[in-house]
A and B are shown apart, each in its own frame.
Chain A
Amino acid sequence: MPLVPALLVVLALFVYPFIYGLQLSVSPIGALAKGGALANYAAFFGDPRERLSILNTLRLAVPVTLLDLCVALPLAYRLRRPLPGQRVITGLLVIPMTLGTVLLAQGMIQFFGPAGWVNKALLGLHLVTMPVQFVHNYTGVFLSLTIADFPAVFLVLLGYASGLDPRLEQAARTLGAGWRQRLWRVTLPLLAPGIAAAAALSFVATFSVFPSAVLVGEPAGSTRVIALAAWQAAYEQFDYPRASAIAMVMAAIELIFVALVLTARSRAYRGPTIGGRG
């Protein structure tokens, strides 16, 4: 079967490491070795600073995902039909994909910095009297993730929106549905799978990324995200079992989120979505 090689690779490099990590996480080492199998988890949840990293992560990942969805959804819906300058618009929205975390961070430090263009403009317009601090705090990471994550969310939604059969909305209109009714009863339910997919992918991305939390954030404080906690355990304290435990907590949170999104999606609409894209 041609499936076998791909399957073997996924089993060997994804499923096995996952199980290995799970096993590592319940075999604590060092000071925690006597604490029993769950000592790593107990240590993580028992330490307020570590526990806080979950909150720090969610405080970024959830609003970023929501904001990107709210901006990308109307755009994708409108852009499924040609508009003057369509290619330029799509290109502009997709290009940040290539910026990379570091260029984005470096650029943001300049652009939003105390002597950067944004603060110059704000000062020049007398909107503020002191330079506003946009970077090296929560705002910096929030902006960086929102920009970096937008293209993927937009592309996923655009794919689904252009698969919508326009006849369904026309039918709803013929039957006398107002735009509000069409939006809530026809369009959004039909787009639910796309919204769910985009939300899940965006959450994975924003949830696990930590370079921006370090470069434009406040890695010792408000933006010490859980991925950073895991990395520090693995590569600063060389405690792989503890790092694996944190990684497992991450995976659990991520899967809970995906499950929530999928539940919400099946509540929104059950049944076939759309036929071929034609």
Chain B
Amino acid sequence: MSRAAAVSQARGRPSPRRPAGEGSAWWVYAIVGVFGLLVAGIFLSAFLNSIASTWFGGWLPDAYTTKWYRFAASEFDLGHVLAVTIVVGLAVTLISLALGVPAAYVLARHAFPGRAALLMLLVLPMLVPPITYGIPLAAMLYRLRLGGTLAGVIVANIVPAIPFVVLIMTPFFEQIDPNLERAARTLGAPPLRMFARVLLPIALPGVLAAGLLILVRAIALFELTFLVSGAKSQTLVVALYYTAFAAGIRPSQAIDAMAVVYMATGLILLLAALRFINPVNMVIRVRR
């Protein structure tokens, strides 16, 4: 209060009672500072450990090395795991965009009976813990001989990605002026052509943003991949979990090295996503 009030009074604005949330914001910096310190401490602890040759009881490691990264690359078959992760992430992103974008368009543009129920159905997989449908889904995929395969992992991960596309893209389409479509239709463009030549180019930033976020999520999503994947179709998160779970067999520095590789992958994608979208616009109000 004190400093901001003094400043505003110095400017000659008589506002001793400023609305909550407009005065000084030291507490924002304080909370963010504590949170940042916690996260930085946790991350640096793991990161320093991953480049430490030995670290006995001191504040910092005794000596540094890159050998754990080389060890992780060969021991954990990091190349294969990364390849699986990228294939799964890209496939899930492309398929769920192809399925979700047209659905979002219809939901944004047309009012029809049962629209709210349909939207609810499409969003429901986001509101239910993945493990609840994941266990029967895994049972089903194993019966279809898809369990443990790359295709099975992709199929399972599409389920939670679709609600995400629908939730992001529906308001995006709502913002587009319907007159553009009317104009295209008046000029004789068939619906598909109109969609491809008029709507998609306008919606491209939204599609890209949704795609990047799904990619980040698909890479991070643990439960479904964990339930469905086999030894040859593990993504990085699942492989990491198995290694960390069997801690003691492998040196913890090597696990940390792999975890750092994982974080770097996610961080690059997230930063890319944040370049395209303002996080403020990520959230969507369901139209009532």
Which of A's residues lie within 8 Å of B, judged by CB? 1-3, 5-7, 9-10, 13-18, 20-21, 24, 71, 74-75, 77-81, 83, 85, 89-111, 115-118, 120, 147, 150, 155-156, 158-160, 162-163, 169, 173, 179, 182-183, 193-194, 197, 200-201, 204, 207-211, 214-215, 227, 230-231, 234, 240, 243-244, 247-248, 250-251, 254-255, 258, 272-274, 277
Chain A residues, CB < 8 A from B131:
208, 210, 227, 230-231, 247, 250
- Please state if B159 and A251 are interface contacts (CB–CB under 8 Å): no
Q: Which chain A residues border B31 with CB–CB below 8 Å?
A: 71, 75
Establish whether residues B41 and A118, one from each chain, have CB atoms under 8 Å apart when the complex forms. Answer: yes
Q: Is A103 touching B262 in the complex (CB atoms < 8 A)? A: yes
Which residues of chain A are within 8 angstroms of B59 by Cβ–Cβ distance?
117, 120
The answer to the question of B150 belonging to the interface, with a C-beta cut-off of 8 Å to chain A, is no
Q: A20-B136, A21-B136, A230-B135 are in contact. Are A254 and B129 (CB under 8 A)?
A: yes
Instruction: Across the interface, name the chain A residue whose C-beta is closest to B36.
Output: A92
Chain B contacts to A: CB under 8 angstroms: 17, 19-22, 25, 27-29, 31-32, 35-36, 38-39, 41-47, 49, 57, 59, 98-100, 102-103, 105-107, 118, 121-122, 124-140, 155-156, 158-159, 162, 166, 216, 220, 222-223, 227, 237, 240-241, 243-245, 252, 255-256, 259-260, 262-263, 266-267, 269-270, 274, 279-285, 288
A6 to B131, CA, bound (A): 21
Is the pair A98, B263 in contact by a Cβ cutoff of 8 Å? Answer: yes
B20 contacts A75, CB within 8 Å? Answer: no
Chain A hits for B267, CB < 8 A: 95, 98
Once the chains bind, are A193 and B285 in contact (CB under 8 Å)? Answer: yes
Docked CA distance A24–B256 (Å): 40
Docked Cα-Cα span, A89 to B26, in Å, equals: 13
The answer to whether B280 and A159 have CB atoms under 8 Å apart is yes
Interface of A is mostly: helix
Q: How far is the CA of A217 from the CA of B124 in the complex (A)?
A: 30
- Would A215 and B266 be within 8 Å (CB), given that A13-B158, A92-B36 are in contact? no
Residue of B nearest to A258 (CB): B127
- Could you tell me the distance in whole angstroms from the C-beta of A228 to the nearest C-beta in chain B? 10
Residue of A nearest to B34 (CB): A71
Tell me the complex Cα distance, A193–B51, Å: 46
CB within 8 A of A17: which of B46, B118, B133, B237? Answer: B133
Does the CB pair A115–B57 fall under 8 Å? yes
The reply to whether B260 and A103 contact each other, CB–CB distance below 8 Å, is yes
Q: A98-B216, A234-B135 are in contact. Are A183 and B283 (CB under 8 A)?
A: no
Flag if A244 contacts B282 (CB, 8 Å): no
User: Which chain B residues lie closer than 8 Å to A248 at the CB level?
Assistant: 132
Among A18, A85, A99, A250, the most chain B Cβ lie within 10 Å of the Cβ of A99
Which residue of the partner chain, among A13, A97, A194, contacts B155 with CB atoms under 8 Å? A13
With the chains together, A79 CA to B22 CA distance in Å?
A: 10
Q: Which residues of A contact B36 (CB under 8 A)?
A: 92
Check A78 against B136 for contact (C-beta < 8 Å).
Answer: no
Cβ-defined contact, B159 with A10, below 8 A: yes
A9 touching B158 by the CB < 8 A rule? yes
Going nearest first, the 7 A-B pairs with the smallest beta carbon separation are A159-B283, A208-B129, A21-B136, A2-B102, A98-B266, A110-B45, A103-B259
- Select the residue from B42, B240, B256, B281 with max chain A CB neighbours within 10 A: B42
Contacts A103-B46, A254-B128; is A111 near B135 (CB within 8 Å)? no
* A13 interface neighbour in B156, B222, B284, Cβ under 8 Å: B156
Q: Do B107 and A14 touch (CB < 8 A)?
A: no
Are A155 and B136 neighbours in the complex by a CB distance under 8 Å?
no
